[in-house]
Amino acid sequence: MQRIVIDKNIRHGKPVIRGTRVPVDIILGSLAGGMTYEEICKEYEIEKDDIKAVIEYATRIVANEEIHMLEAV
């Protein structure tokens, strides 16, 4: 993940696109809201590869997520 960084001094340690202060969650939300890659690139001054890195980052987070089912009481 060379394009995504976590630095406690940038956005309180939220993952951002390297060289920017654009958080990963903002890009994911923009995609979920229907913005195109082109619109996102223009709006946040990032590259298409940055968006792909955001998606890859989110995929890795979800893939490593552990689900613990709670029993009904």
CA-nearest of 5, 58, 60, 6 to 27 is 58
Residue 37 included in any domain:
yes
- Amino acid at position 3, single letter: R
Alpha-carbon span 1 to 57, nearest angstrom: 7
Residue 68 included in any domain:
no
User: Residue 1: pLDDT above 90?
Assistant: no
Q: What is the pLDDT of residues 59-73, one digit of tens each?
A: 999 998 888 888 887
**Tally of domains in the chain:** 1
**Model pLDDT, residue 71:** 86
**CATH at 48:** 1.10.10.10
The structure's pTM equals 0.86
For residue 50, what are the domain limits? 4-63
Residue 73 included in any domain:
no
**Model pLDDT, residue 37:** 98
Q: What is the pLDDT of residues 27-63, one digit of tens each?
A: 999 999 999 999 999 999 999 999 999 999 999 999 9
